[in-house]
Chains A and B, each alone.
Chain A
Amino acid sequence: MDTFQRIKKIVLEKIDVQEDRLTPDATLEGLGLDSLDRVELMFSLEEEFKIKIPDREVTIVTIHDVVNVIDKLAEEQHGEV
C-alpha cells in the first residue's frame, strides 16, 4: 500500500465518510476535523509510519499535504518510505 492508501485507511477508521471523498485535494477541515481531531490524527499517523511530526508549524491543509509531509519525514528519519 502506498502512503496515500495507508493514510486513507487510518482516516476511514476515525471518521464516518465515504471513501470517494478522500481525494488528494480534500481538506482536513472540509472532512470535519477540528484542531483536536488533527492532533489525534497526527499521533495515529506517527504511530503508523514510525515517524515524528515536529511540533513546529507544519502546513497541512489537504490530504496531499499529509502525504508529502509523511514521505519527506519518513525519508529524513529513516531513509525510506
Chain B
Amino acid sequence: MKRVAITGMGVISPVGNRTTVFFSNLMTGKSGVRRMTSDFSSQLSVKIAAEADFYPADYFSKKQIGALDRVTLMALAAASQAWEDSGITLAEEEKNRAGVYLGTGMGGSPSLDELFVQLYKKAASRVNPLFVPKIMSNAPASHVSIRYGLSGPCLTFSTACSSSAVAIGESFRQIKSGYCDVMLAGGTECLLTYGSFKSWESLGVLATEDPEDPSASCKPFAKDRSGFVLGEGAALLVLEEMEHAQKRGAKMLGEIIGYGSAADASHIVRPSAAGQARAIRLALDEAQIGPDAIDYINAHGTATAANDLAETQALKEVFGKRAYAIPVSSTKSMHGHLLGAAGAVEFVAAVLAMTNGAVPPTAHLRVPDPDCDLDYVPNRGRTGVDIKTIMSNSFAFGGTNAVLIARAL
C-alpha cells in the first residue's frame, strides 16, 4: 500500500480565486452570498446566490471560451493553480500513471440552458454542433487530462453533493493501491441557471433571504437556519504517491489517510445519521486513528433543518463525549453550497486550516439551536490552533456519504 501526499491545490469560488484569498476570506467570516446579478432573478422568489467573480477572458482565449462550458473553464483554472502550486513536471513515460478524477453534479448546465432556449424559445431547427462536447458531464475531467497530457484513468463521478469528495477519495485509492502515481482530483459545478433555481426553489431547501443582510442568509446549525444558498466554483488538488513527491522535493501540504464511502440506502433526499456515521467510522478505521485524533471537522453543514441535526447526531454517535471538544465548522455559510464541487472546495478549506493552524468559523450563527450543541466555531475564526488531523464531510442527495481524513506532515 502506498502513501498519498497532497502537493498542490487550486480553487475558484465565491470567496476567492486563489487559495490564499479564499482562506483569508473564510477566516474573516466574509460571505460570498449576495443578491444575484442575473436578470432572471426578478422571476424567482429566491434572489440570492454565491456567484464566483470568475471572468474566463482573464484566463482563456476566445477559442477556448467558445468551445468550453463555464463548468469546464472553472475546472481548468483551478487545475492550473493546483499544477503550478505543486511545481510538478512529468516525464512522458510518467503520464500513463497520472490520471484525472473529477466530480460534478450536473456538468455543462449553462450550455444545456442555452440549448433549451434555442430549441423551445427560438424554435431553432439546428443547434450549435458543440453542444454535445460542451454539455457532457465528463467534459471538465477530459479537458484537464488533455491540457496536461495525463493518459492514466480519466473519470467523472456524479453523486450530487458528495461528487468531488468521492473523486478525491477514489483518487486516493488509485494511488494507494498502486495504479497511479499522480492524480488531479476535485470537482466543479456551475449551475446558476434559471431552470436550476426554479427547480431548487420548488424543493424548499433554499435559504430565505436574511432581511437585514442578504450575505448572512446561510446559517448552518443555527436555530433560525432555513436552508442553503446555491453557489458555483471548482477546486482541484494534486495528489501524489509519497516517494514520487519526496524524490522531487515537493512541498507537502498533507497526507490523505482515510476515505469512508457509504450509502444511506434509505431515502432519496432525507439524510440518515446512521449512514453518515457509517462513512465517518470507515474513514477513521482506514486512517487507523480513534476519535481523539481529529482536531478539526469541516462539516457538510448545509443549514437545512434535517442535515444539521442528522450530522450533529452522527458526530455524537461516533465521537461520543469527544464530539464536544472538536471544532466543527460549516464554511458553506460563506461560500455557499457548491454541490458537485462542495466536497473538494471544503476539503481544500480543511487542508488550509491544517497548514495555517487556523479554524474558519461557521458564520451567521447568532441564534443557537439546543439540538445542535457542539462547538461550531460560531462567527469568529480561531488562529494559533494546532491542527494535525482533519476530517471533511460530504453527505448527499441520493445518500452517498463521503468522508475524507488528512493529516499534517
Contact = CB atoms under 8 A, between A and B. Distances in A.
Interface of A: 13-16, 32, 36-37, 39-40, 43, 46
Contact of B63 (A16, A39, A43, A46): A16
B126 A43 contact: yes
A21 B172 CA distance: 48
B62 interface: yes
Contact of A36 (B61, B62, B130): B130
A16 B129 contact: no
A49 to B, nearest CB: 14
Nearest to A12: B62
B133 A36 contact: yes
Interface in B125-153: 126, 128-130, 133
Interface of B: 61-63, 66-67, 126, 128-130, 133
B62 A39 contact: no
A39 B128 CA distance: 9
Nearest to A52: B126
A40 B128 contact: yes
Contacts of A36: 67, 129-130, 133
Given A14-B62, A15-B62, A40 B126 contact: no
A40 B66 contact: yes
A34 to B, nearest CB: 10
Contacts of B128: 40, 43
B59 to A, nearest CB: 13
Contacts of B130: 36, 39-40
A16 B66 CA distance: 11
Given A15-B62, A36-B130, 20 more contacts: A14-B62, A14-B63, A14-B66, A15-B61, A15-B63, A16-B61, A16-B63, A36-B67, A36-B129, A36-B133, A37-B67, A39-B129, A39-B130, A40-B67, A40-B128, A40-B129, A43-B126, A43-B128, A43-B129, A46-B126
Contacts of A43: 126, 128-129
A36 B130 CA distance: 8
Contact of A16 (B62, B67, B126, B133): B62
B67 A13 contact: no
Nearest to A15: B63
Q: Which 3 A-B pairs give the minimum distances between C-beta atoms?
A: A39-B129, A16-B61, A15-B63
B62 A13 contact: yes
B235 to A, nearest CB: 28
Contacts of B67: 36-37, 40
B129 A37 contact: no
A14 to B, nearest CB: 5
Contacts of A16: 61-63
Nearest to B130: A40
Nearest to A43: B129
A26 B128 CA distance: 25
Contacts of A37: 63, 67
A16 B399 CA distance: 45
A17 to B, nearest CB: 9
12 contacts: A13-B62, A14-B66, A15-B61, A16-B61, A32-B63, A36-B67, A36-B133, A37-B63, A39-B129, A39-B130, A40-B129, A43-B126
